[in-house]
């Protein structure tokens, strides 16, 4: 007897994008989540949700402009890895890109603070689980 495929509507996916912005010294920019938001005070790769019908790269370019007031060209976004984890009834799918070139100076528009850190320093920072799971790859890439 053939098995029926699972009903994917029972497992809604929350797609999000994030960037590991890397400066000339090999440091990565992290943003601190503001008070009043889930995971407040934790350090994360900047980015956000993908809107319906939006390409991941377009979502990341939009989010980086909204959150950091920088402009990024899609050609400067290199897909790096992803993380997946359950958050309640949903499945978070975090797509991480590496970016080494942008226009403007990042500033904390939505975050409480910004911090440039070496990948090895990320282990000591409080980070959301999905972001934390990506540290090892970032260390290997940089």
DSSP letter string over the chain?
-PPPPP-GGGS-EEEEEEEEEB-TTS-EEEEEPPTTSTTTT-EE-SEEEPPTT--HHHHHHHHHHHHH--B--GGGEEEEEEEEEEETTEEEEEEEEEE---BS----SSSSEEEEE-GGGGGGS---HHHHTTHHHHHHH-
Q: What is the pLDDT of residues 65-104, one digit of tens each?
A: 999 999 999 999 999 999 999 988 889 999 999 999 999 9
pLDDT at 141 (0 to 100): 87
pLDDT at 9 (0 to 100): 55
């Amino acid at each position: 007897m053939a098995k029926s495929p699972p009903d994917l509507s029972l497992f809604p996916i929350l797609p999000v994008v994030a960037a590991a912005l890397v400066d000339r010294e090999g440091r990565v920019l992290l943003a601190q989540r503001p008070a009043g938001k889930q995971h407040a005070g934790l350090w994360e790769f900047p980015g956000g949700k993908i809107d319906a019908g939006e390409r991941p790269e377009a979502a990341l370019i939009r989010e980086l402009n909204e959150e950091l007031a920088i402009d990024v060209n899609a050609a400067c976004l290199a897909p790096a890895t992803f993380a997946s984890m359950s958050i309640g009834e949903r499945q978070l799918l975090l797509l991480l890109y590496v970016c080494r070139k942008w226009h403007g100076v990042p500033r904390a528009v939505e975050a409480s603070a910004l911090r440039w850190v070496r990948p090895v320093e990320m282990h000591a920072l409080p980070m959301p689980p999905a972001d934390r799971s990506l540290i090892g790859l970032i260390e290997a890439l940089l």
